[in-house]
Structure 1
Amino acid sequence: MNTGLKITAFGAAIAATFGTAYGVGTSIDPVVAEKPPAAHDEHAETEEGAGEKAKGGHEEAPGGGHETTPAGGLQISEGGYTLALDTPRVAEGRSALLSFSVKDESGRKVTAYQREHGKELHFIVASRDLTVYRHLHPTRAADGTWSVRAKLPAAGGYRAFADFKPAKKGATGVTLGADLAVSGTSEPAALPKAGNTAEVDGYRVTLDGALTPGKANELKLTVSKDGKPVTNLQPYLGAYGHLVALRAGDLAYLHVHPNGEPGDGVTKPGPEVSFTATAPSSGAYRLFLDFQHKGEVRTAAFTVDVPATGSDSGAKPSTQPGETEESGEHGH
């Protein structure tokens, strides 16, 4: 993960429509009976095969445009590391223990990581329709097995992301992704429309700025409560805000942190939290901002449309309440 600078980029797509029953990989039978997908008002969804990371050059991306940077979260194995889910399927609406590990090239579980933003590893779970989001905080056993309890409220296909940096000298950050199935009857929702605010638990978060393919832009998120600016945000994971974004269609993963940090003598604890981000392609994105106030972490969710290069680009988030869950999880 890179602090306050470019977003981890994206690659080719994984199928995102819900027209078939979901399994995880090719070795697991389907466990979800699904209803027809909800109509999408804004974006046509394209069914594509399992993505492969771009190995340089340009690659067509969902929503138009070209990939110009390496992908994030679209591969289960990358850089000699593999994400192994011990629990690739769970039941809808029930608290379940998610267990996983990161394995090296020899198949051994990784037990040494560099701490970044207060954690050795960041674990994100999101539904493929991007209406359910969880930023979880697993614990690691001595043998390298990670575990955390979570309750996923809706059946369907999900993607689990492990974002980490190995302790190996010279290692760079890695984001791996694996499919997760939640059993039950699935009725995927349409991607929320773009807007300019998001509300959660009486807080209003306003997004100002634009995402442009291949160009770094500043995004400012302003937090208010009951019409008054929040000027006493509390540090969360070493920052006043934590931003994850996923591209609709393939769930390519972005993970950024704000410009500045608590205690640097410059960065104020609100109401604005600033990020610098680069969109790797045009298309629709879902942004999830975690922020902490009065001892509780909340998640504000936005939908952002990124026009093709040369178009009038504007990042317009949608109003979408967040949720807070138990067992070390939170989010929408």
Structure 2
Amino acid sequence: MSISLRAISRRRAMAAVGAATVLALTLSACGSTDHSSMPGMNHGAATSSASATGGTHGMDGMDGMDHGAVSGDGLAAEKDGYRLDSRTTTVPASQADPYAFTITGPDGKPVTDFTVEQTKLMHFYAIRSDLTGYQHLHPTMAADGTWTADLAALTPGTWRLYASFTPGSGSGKGQDFVLSRTVTVPGNAAPTPLPAASTTTTVDGYTVTVQGEPMAGMAHPLTVTFAKDGQPVTDLQPYLDTYAHISAFHEGDQSLAHLHPETPVNGDHGGPNLSFHAQLAKSGNWRVFLQFQTGGQLHTAELTLRVS
């Protein structure tokens, strides 16, 4: 009996060791992914931060480069101790206006050390609640950590403003953040219905076509094709170190996603096809703004993409 019990004990111990080994390998595999990810850009996996309202000033709080998985939705004003702060809650209608803000760190002080991402220290986006009026800006920072984004004229309504950045030091060093707040533009806010889902659109004489069937929460290949006057476009120029930049906003909650092509940059010879490895966290309609450059001119193509 004692021999049998010892044998059983040894078998249980070996089973426990085996299970622990499997668990360790699993955690190691999960941990091998770079977690410093910009929401929607596949640099690494991280838990999506919940939408938040807040701030000391009573404002509302706020998915690819293909190196990992989706992180966050950009709908929080604060994440991991980093916070988007601004005294501005109202912006005048129909006139350009500078939007001043700071990024404060876990110590409550303005952050002044940032890492360059896609040639810029800060990327800033504005979108109205009906997903119109898209702006993609690159603010400037003063020595005290105050940023200024020169917003073009906004139409009446509620707008969400997003700041995308990577701290260069501190607890968040190397981690990509997207934080946002809302502002109100006074006046008669007439909502614009979201255009129907389509795989093709035209801007400045260029026809942009998206091929692929993205599914929520799953990495999925997309191909974007460029043509002009019925001919393939092969002279795309680098823009922010890549041949295209996609910002996508989810209908209803304005979740933000970033997509960038896997296609390597080779001078002014981009196109006609760009490959993307897209991962969009939510099903439904996404309003897509695809920016590309030719002949020194920046173009912004817009379409509605349906995600299953």
For the criterion TM > 0.5, the same-fold answer is: yes
Alpha-carbon distance in structure 2 between the residues aligned to 1:111 and 1:243: 27
Q: Tell me if the contact between 1:208 and 1:220 (Cα under 8 Å) persists in the aligned partners.
A: yes
Whether 2:223 is the aligned partner of 1:213: answer no
Change (3 A) 1:4 1:254: closer
Q: Tell me if the contact between 1:155 and 1:184 (Cα under 8 Å) persists in the aligned partners.
A: yes
Alignment of 1:177-192 (within 5 A): 177-192=180-195
Alpha-carbon distance in structure 1 between the residues aligned to 2:297 and 2:273: 18
Partner of 1:89: helix, strand, or coil? Answer: coil
Map Cα deviations across residues 29-64 of structure 1 (whole Å, 9 max, x no partner). Answer: 9xxxxxxxxxxxxxxxxxxxx889xxxxxxxxxxxx
2:128 is aligned to 127
Q: Tell me if the contact between 1:7 and 1:254 (Cα under 8 Å) persists in the aligned partners.
A: no
Whether 2:100 is the aligned partner of 1:114: answer no
- Aligned CA-pair RMSD: 2.9
Q: Tell me if the contact between 2:79 and 2:179 (Cα under 8 Å) persists in the aligned partners.
A: yes
Q: CA deviation at 1:27?
A: 5.7
Change (3 A) 1:94 1:161: same
Higher relative CO (CA 8 A, sep ≥ 6), structure 1 or 2?
Answer: 1
Alpha-carbon distance in structure 2 between the residues aligned to 1:177 and 1:304: 23
Map Cα deviations across residues 113-134 of structure 1 (whole Å, 9 max, x no partner). Answer: 1111101111011111002100
Alpha-carbon distance in structure 2 between the residues aligned to 1:92 and 1:100: 19
Alpha-carbon distance in structure 2 between the residues aligned to 1:189 and 1:14: 26
2:225 is aligned to 222
User: Following superposition, which runs of at least 4 residues in structure 1 exceed 6 angstroms of deviation?
Assistant: 6-9
Map Cα deviations across residues 152-200 of structure 1 (whole Å, 9 max, x no partner). Answer: 3421011111111100265311110111211211011111111121111
Partner of 1:185: helix, strand, or coil? Answer: coil
Which structure has the larger Rg? 2
1:77 is aligned to 78
Alpha-carbon distance in structure 2 between the residues aligned to 1:222 and 1:85: 40
Structure 2 residue identity aligned to 1:118? T
Map Cα deviations across residues 296-328 of structure 1 (whole Å, 9 max, x no partner). Answer: 111111111112xxxxxxxxxxxxxxxxxxxxx
Identity of aligned residues (%): 36
Q: Tell me if the contact between 2:237 and 2:293 (Cα under 8 Å) persists in the aligned partners.
A: yes
Quick check: which one's helix share is greater?
2
Structure 2 residue identity aligned to 1:176? L
Q: Tell me if the contact between 1:113 and 1:120 (Cα under 8 Å) persists in the aligned partners.
A: yes
Whether 2:158 is the aligned partner of 1:157: answer yes
Alpha-carbon distance in structure 2 between the residues aligned to 1:135 and 1:153: 13
2:15 is aligned to none
1:279 is aligned to 280
Q: 1:202 aligns with which of 192, 200, 205?
A: 205
1:20 is aligned to none
2:249 is aligned to 246
1:141 is aligned to 142
1:43 is aligned to none
Which ranges in structure 2 are unaligned for 5 or more consecutive residues? Answer: 1-36, 63-68
Change (3 A) 1:268 1:7: farther
Alignment of 1:1-332 (within 5 A): 1=37, 5=42, 70-168=71-169, 170-263=173-266, 269-307=270-308
Change (3 A) 1:295 1:255: same
Q: CA deviation at 1:148?
A: 2.6
Alpha-carbon distance in structure 1 between the residues aligned to 2:108 and 2:243: 37
Q: CA deviation at 1:228?
A: 1.9
Q: Tell me if the contact between 1:14 and 1:250 (Cα under 8 Å) persists in the aligned partners.
A: no
Alpha-carbon distance in structure 2 between the residues aligned to 1:254 and 1:303: 14
Change (3 A) 1:6 1:195: farther
Q: Tell me if the contact between 2:246 and 2:258 (Cα under 8 Å) persists in the aligned partners.
A: yes
Q: Tell me if the contact between 1:245 and 1:254 (Cα under 8 Å) persists in the aligned partners.
A: yes
Q: CA deviation at 1:281?
A: 2.3
Alpha-carbon distance in structure 2 between the residues aligned to 1:4 and 1:13: 19
Q: Tell me if the contact between 1:241 and 1:289 (Cα under 8 Å) persists in the aligned partners.
A: yes
Alpha-carbon distance in structure 1 between the residues aligned to 2:117 and 2:234: 25
Alpha-carbon distance in structure 1 between the residues aligned to 2:275 and 2:71: 24
Map Cα deviations across residues 70-127 of structure 1 (whole Å, 9 max, x no partner). Answer: 5221100001110012433211210111111111122211111111110111101111
Under a length normalisation based on structure 1, what TM-score does the superposition of the two structures give?
A: 0.71
Partner of 2:303: helix, strand, or coil? Answer: strand
Change (3 A) 1:28 1:75: closer
Partner of 1:234: helix, strand, or coil? Answer: coil
Q: Tell me if the contact between 1:259 and 1:274 (Cα under 8 Å) persists in the aligned partners.
A: yes
1:330 is aligned to none
Q: Tell me if the contact between 1:238 and 1:261 (Cα under 8 Å) persists in the aligned partners.
A: no
